[in-house]
Homo-oligomer: A and B are copies of this chain.
Amino acid sequence: MNPVERHPHCELCQQDGGILIVKTEKLRVVRVDDADYPGFYRVIWNDHAAEFTDLSPADQVPCLAAVALVETLVRQHLKPTKVNLASLGNVVPHLHWHVIARFADDKHFPQPIWGQAQREVPADRWQDLRQALPALDQAIKDAVLTSPQ
């Protein structure tokens, strides 16, 4: 695939898709600014590809390695109950992996975040976790930049 292939009408070809943490030649990691989910990142393939298997096997490996790297650091820094990984793309069919720290008392747990809300969460519940985000963002940036591409 052409390394600079961009589609004019694709949101993730035209925009970062969140708070840009780090960008390499092939992919980027963004953090989603979500009031209910402090530890919510996306690994986005830079080129336009709809499905994971639109990537060559040689590209699938570093793509998933980046997802695993973000998951590892999210676990280390935020100690979530569970991490949810998903590549859906029904609305924006440009390959992006959600990496979402889930907590037993979060808005939808144990449902997926796209499911029915299970509870109201106090506004200050995520205050401590949010304070941990700058260090987590930096750790993700450092790790992605030093990982094999």
The residues of A with any CB-CB pair to B shorter than 8 Å are: 50-53, 57, 60-61, 64-65, 67-68, 71-72, 75, 81-91, 93, 102, 109-112, 114-116
Contacts and interface: CB of A to CB of B under 8 A. Distances in A.
Contacts of A84: 86-90
A86 B89 CA distance: 11
A27 B3 CA distance: 34
B83 A86 contact: no
Contact of A53 (B52, B60, B75, B86): B75
Chain B CB within 10 Å — which of A67, A75, A114 has the most? A114
A112 B85 contact: no
Nearest to A60: B68
A68 to B, nearest CB: 5
A61 B58 CA distance: 11
